[in-house]
Structure formats: C-alpha cells, structure tokens
C-alpha cells in the first residue's frame, strides 16, 4: 500500500492535475492500493480567507473573489473531463460554491468571522479539488472512490489547529481495509470534531492528513510530492541566496 500527497501547485490547473494522474496511475501498477491526499488548488485557501475577512468587515468585494473561485473550478472541470461526463461534476462544484456564498452572506450580515466559521470556509477548497480529481479517475475507468476526511479524522474543537483523536481516527481509517477499491482520494487539511463540526489541522495540514492515513493503514510508504527542489536553507522568497539541502535528518528538519 502507498499513500501519496500532492500540494496546491501540483493540482493548480487541469494541466497539472493530468500530470498528477499519470504519476498516480504509474504508482498503482506496483501497489495493491493507493491513498491519494490532495490540497486545494493553489491560492484557493488564501482567497477563501480573504473572502471571509472582507465579508466580516462589510466589504462587498468578497462577491467578486467568490466568483473567481467558482469560475476557476468550473473551468478546470471543463478542461479535465469529456463533455459527456461533466454534468454531475459541474453540479456538485456549483453546489459547494452556492453553500459558500450563503455562508459569506451570513458573515456579511453579522459582521463577524469566528474561528469555527473560518474552518468551515477553508474546507471548501480541499473538498472541491479532491472531488473533481476523484471524478476524473472514475471517468478513466479506475476503481476509485472519494472519501470525506471529516468522516475519518476526528479532532477536538481547537479551530484553526485541531488536535487529532487518534484512537477514533485509526478505527475509522481501518474501515478502508474492508472496502473493495484500489484508489482512495481524500481532501487534506480538514477533519471534524463532535457533531461533525468541520475543523482544520492548521496551514500545511494536508501533509499531516497523509501521515495520519499512512499510519492508520500501515502503509509501506508515504510520498509527499511537490514541484520545488526540496527543503532549502531558507525561504527563497525572502532570502536571495537560499539553496537546496541535499540531505537532512528529521530532527534538523523539525
């Protein structure tokens, strides 16, 4: 078994998603089961946070950002899937966008953005990207199923950076092993507390999601895929002479 995780830039467009699909398909040749964890499309989470902040401050420009998010995802579906297979995927994508708009309207009316509501808002990026990617694999004829990470990974209600209840979570992950599928696609970053209230594992939490799944299914390996050179001596956006580190221990990385 293998767990693979792809970040936002790797699933940022129809073109990059097609590359991800080829990598996953090749991996499936050598693994009985593959668990694929994906992030939101690049930039989506930041846009969702910006939307919420603008709505809470009474700035109606949040509507334009929502429109941009919707158009980007709908266009990705149209580029990724054959016309005859688009209807269902466009429908649930539009449903998610409508839900987002309703939540944002509520924030706008109340003038308040709580941590709990922000977690709910941020979840939509991963939900849309993962379901679109899963649908694309199904169209290709693969034995693929989409799973909502919120039904599997259980946490406390520390919104924004929730702590995992591993006993319950691993019991839920164990159900994977009784299901007859070869490819499982899951949204990263999101989980749920009691009463199925949406929580998040903190920014960059998709890597954590993949590690949780890998531990729960006792995967042979966990692969974190990215489109950058690797770990660097500093953030290259801030330090001009940052360079890749050829080898580093877990302790140093932490």
* Tens of pLDDT, residues 1-34: 999 999 999 999 999 999 999 999 999 999 999 9
CB atoms within 10 A of CB 21: 18
Q: Which residues contact 136 (CB under 8 A, 6 or more apart)?
A: 17, 21, 80, 81
CA pair distance 97, 90, nearest whole angstrom: 11
**Span 66-78, average pLDDT:** 98
pTM across the whole model: 0.91
What percent of the chain has a predicted confidence (pLDDT) above 90? Answer: 86
Of the candidates 154, 159, 161, 229, which has an alpha carbon nearest to the alpha carbon of residue 192? 154
**Is residue 121 a contact partner of residue 86, using CB atoms and an 8 Å limit?**
no
Q: What's residue 180's pLDDT?
A: 87
């Amino acid at each position: 078994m293998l767990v693979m995780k792809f970040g936002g830039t790797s699933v940022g467009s129809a073109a990059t998603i097609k590359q991800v699909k080829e990598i996953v398909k090749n991996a499936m040749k050598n693994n009985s089961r593959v668990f694929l964890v994906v992030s939101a499309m690049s930039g989506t989470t930041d846009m969702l946070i910006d939307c919420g902040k603008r709505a809470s401050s009474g700035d109606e420009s949040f509507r334009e950002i929502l429109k941009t998010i919707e158009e980007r995802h709908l266009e990705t579906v149209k580029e990724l899937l054959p016309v005859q297979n688009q209807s269902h995927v466009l429908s649930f994508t539009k449903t998610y966008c409508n839900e987002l708009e309703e939540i944002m309207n509520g924030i706008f009316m109340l003038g308040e953005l709580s941590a709990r509501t922000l977690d709910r808002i941020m979840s939509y990026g991963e939900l849309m990207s993962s379901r679109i990617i899963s649908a694309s694999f199904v169209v290709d004829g693969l034995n693929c199923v989409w799973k909502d990470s919120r039904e599997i990974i259980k946490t406390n209600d520390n919104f924004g950076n929730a702590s995992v209840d591993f006993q319950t979570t691993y019991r839920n992950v164990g159900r994977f092993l009784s299901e007859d599928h070869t490819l499982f696609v899951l949204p990263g970053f999101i989980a749920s507390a009691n009463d199925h209230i949406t929580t998040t594992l903190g920014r960059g939490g998709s890597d954590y999601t993949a590690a949780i799944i890998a531990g729960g299914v006792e995967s042979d390996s966990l692969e974190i895929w990215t489109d950058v050179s690797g770990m660097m001596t500093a953030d290259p956006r801030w330090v001009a002479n940052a360079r890749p580190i050829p080898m580093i221990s877990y302790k140093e990385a932490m």
